[in-house]
Amino acid sequence: MTDTLTPDQERTVIEDTQKWLLEAVVGLNLCPFAKAVVVKDMVRYRVCASAEPADLLAMLREELQHLAEADPDKLDTTLLIAPNGLPDFLDFNDFLADCDEVLMDLELDGVLQVADFHPHYQFGGTDVDDIENFTNRTPYPTLHLLREASIDKAVEAYPDASLIFERNIEVLNKLGQEGWAKLGIASRLHN
């Protein structure tokens, strides 16, 4: 594994992530709030080539500051993608506490939040291949930086937001493992 990516490799990482976003998140309506920001081109894609968690944290700090200072009418969310970082889900899950510390250190808790996605995502109490895990599976370890105000607006517009996860499980159960595989959401970088 390398700590650098060529421009073509970085483009591949972003394209793979965009395919996941379009095919799964928007296409399956896993997040009913995502389509509007995708259509309006309000998503920033950043790639951290390093395998070092400290480098990812440094980039997270920069991106949180960037998002906090950006015009919310032009930039709503950032996907920070770490194709070489934290391949083990349990290590990634432990790393999230460090992400929360950065958020609090910047005094941005309550303003921004960090959601997490991983190729091997596994909710507690599930088996590794349970379909509900696929709601949070991406081609690469990814930190989703989003504005609390955007979440509040979305929840106001979608009064049954608490039911989204249950609906997603129903959608994925109907789709099944074979249907998910047909979406072609995968890492082309590490194949």
Query: What pLDDT does 116 receive?
Result: 97
Would you say residue 2 has pLDDT above 70?
Answer: no
* Residue among 20, 26, 30 nearest 166 (CA): 30
Would you say residue 159 has pLDDT above 70?
Answer: no
pLDDT digits (tens, 9 = 90+) for 66-83: 999 999 999 999 999 999
The Cα–Cα gap between 24 and 185 comes to 8
- Asked whether the CA dihedral 57, 62, 65, 67 is positive or negative, the reply is negative
**CB-based contacts of 137: which residues, under 8 Å, 6+ apart?**
117, 118, 119, 120, 121, 185
Q: What type of residue is 103?
A: L
Reported confidence tier of residue 190, pLDDT bands at 50, 70, 90: confident
The Cα–Cα gap between 96 and 123 comes to 14
pLDDT greater at residue 114 or residue 2: 114
CB atoms inside a 10 Å sphere around CB 66: 14
- Cα 91–chain centre separation: 16
Q: What is the mean pLDDT of residues 153-157?
A: 77
Tokens found for residue 45: 């894609």
Q: What is the mean pLDDT of residues 167-177?
A: 93
Please give the backbone phi and psi of residue 91, each rounded to the nearest 5 degrees, phi first. Answer: -65, -45
* Residue among 69, 101, 96, 75 nearest 85 (CA): 96
Q: Residues, the chain, total?
A: 191
Q: Quickly count helices (H) and strands (E) in the chain.
A: 6, 4
Residues 55, 8 contacting (CB under 8 angstroms): no
CB atoms inside a 10 Å sphere around CB 144: 21
Q: What is the mean pLDDT of residues 57-72?
A: 98
Reported confidence tier of residue 157, pLDDT bands at 50, 70, 90: confident
Q: What percent of the chain is predicted at pLDDT more than 90?
A: 84
pTM: 0.94
Q: What is the mean pLDDT of residues 126-144?
A: 95
The Cα–Cα gap between 3 and 16 comes to 19
Would you say residue 183 has pLDDT above 70?
Answer: yes
Residues 139, 20 contacting (CB under 8 angstroms): yes
